[in-house]
Amino acid sequence: MNNFIMKGDICYSETSDTLRLCEDAYLICENGRSMGVFTQIPENYQHFEVLDYTGHMIVPGLSDLHVHAPQYAYRGLGMDMELLEWLETYAFPEESGYKEPAYADKAYSMFVQDLKYSPTTRFCAFATIHTSATLKLMALLENSGLKGYVGKVNMDRNSPDYYCEESAEASLEATREWLMQSEQFHNVRPIITPRFTPSCTDALMMGLGAIASENHLAVQSHLSENLGEIDWVKELCPDSKNYMDTYISAGLAAPGRKSIMAHCVYSDEREIQMMKDNDTYAIHCPQCNMNIASGIAPVRKWLDIGVHMGLGSDVAGGATLSIFRTMMEARQVSKLVWRLLDQNLKSLTLEEIFWMGTKAGGSFFGKVGSFEPGYELDALVLDESRMPHPQALTLRQRLERYICLSENGDLLHKYVSGNKIF
């Protein structure tokens, strides 16, 4: 079984404002779960193997709760466009190519290789409308040792002829078939994925809500990212209270069913409260906020209201899979919100951004994202060798500096549920 002890400088979150910093400490892993962090090895664990990472920081694995796997190939392109034009010019043409098995295999292999060696241990990924390609992505991720969710995308209206499902019924039938074939996987599970309200008819939304309910499945989609998108939803769904209500009325968000809504840039207090009431996670994708020029999410409001939340790379709206970089950018854009928009919305602290990328996002997967007793042991051993400093730094300073300076290659080891990935 996965029984061992990791020795090093250990950092993890307990709450959004409580960061535990334990120098030269011992992290106990039993059967893939944390038994806690100790200054000395308890007597009943002294027979466990000690993995000596003295001098290195050890932190929980990071969760990426919003990434578009088929968009990985065109990261960094079209960054002078807004959302709807960008989708038409880049996203839909690229994603349509995944109907070709050879291309799907080549492109998804690149994505999974990069994700494997990134700080991400848990993920929620969009695929495309293609069942076979989505299963290929799931198989590659299953073999990587990472854990997470993958969604076959649904879209039956307001999409290009070359990348649109024939009808709501055809989309629902394909979804049911995909779910049956997904039963072969264990680390990677299916998640219902309407692209967003404008691309799904009412019949498709209602059908997906029924499938989610029948199979006890989580849901992921987009919410209130762009002003043009929001106006479009008002035209398409005039009877809805707001954008979030389109998901609730279709049964795609409900108490007791976890759902993910990415961006939420223009969500007001009412919409945020509706997310809280329906167990919905608001996912902050700061790099996309800037690249696609939609605006900056009011994360402080999310914190104040107490909605579930996490971070997303939003590749290819974001250009990197590093959630450490996403943490840094979340802090940066929060300062712009505070300075330029509303000085009542205090900028994010180090404690808050680290919690968002670890324990807050990890909670979508259960007891994940911390080293508190009982949590699945997802861990990163960090490599600071590329970041020399002439002075002695505190452990908190080292962590803050690593978040700002690290790149995907700055890892020594990665563990998921106690299994060593590399």
Mean pLDDT by 10 residues, the chain (422 residues): 94 98 98 98 98 98 98 94 92 97 98 98 98 98 98 98 98 98 98 98 98 98 96 97 98 96 97 98 94 92 97 97 97 95 95 98 98 98 96 97 95 98 98
Domains in the chain, CATH or no CATH each: 4-60+370-420 (2.30.40.10), 62-365 (3.20.20.140)
Question: According to the 3-state scheme, what is the secondary structure of the chain?
Answer: CCCEEEEEEEEEEEECCEEEEEEEEEEEEECCEEEEEECCCCHHHCCCEEEEEEEEEEEECEEEEEEEHHHHHHCCCCCCCCHHHHHHHHHHHHHHHHHCHHHHHHHHHHHHHHHHCCCEEEEEEECCCCHHHHHHHHHHHHHHCCEEEEECEECCCCCCHHHCCCCHHHHHHHHHHHHHHHHHCCCEEECEEECCHHHCCHHHHHHHHHHHHHHCCCEEEEECCCHHHHHHHHHHCCCCCCHHHHHHHCCCCECCECEEEEECCCCCHHHHHHHHHCCEEEEECHHHHHHCCCCCCCHHHHHHHCCEEEECCCECCECCCCHHHHHHHHHHHHHHHHHHHCCCCCCCCHHHHHHHHHHHHHHHHCCCCCCCCCCECCEEEECCCCCCCCCCCCHHHHHHHHHHHCCCCCEEEEEECCEECC
Residues paired with residue 5 on neighbouring β-strands, in sequence order: 28, 50
| pTM attached to this predicted model | 0.98
| Residue (of 255, 193, 233) closest to 69 by Cα position | 193
Instruction: Give CA–CA dist 190/379, Å, rounded.
Output: 24
Q: Which residue has the tokens 């290929």?
A: 136
Token pair 């709807």 in the structure block, residue: 84
Q: Is 2:417 a contact under the CB 8 Å cutoff?
A: yes
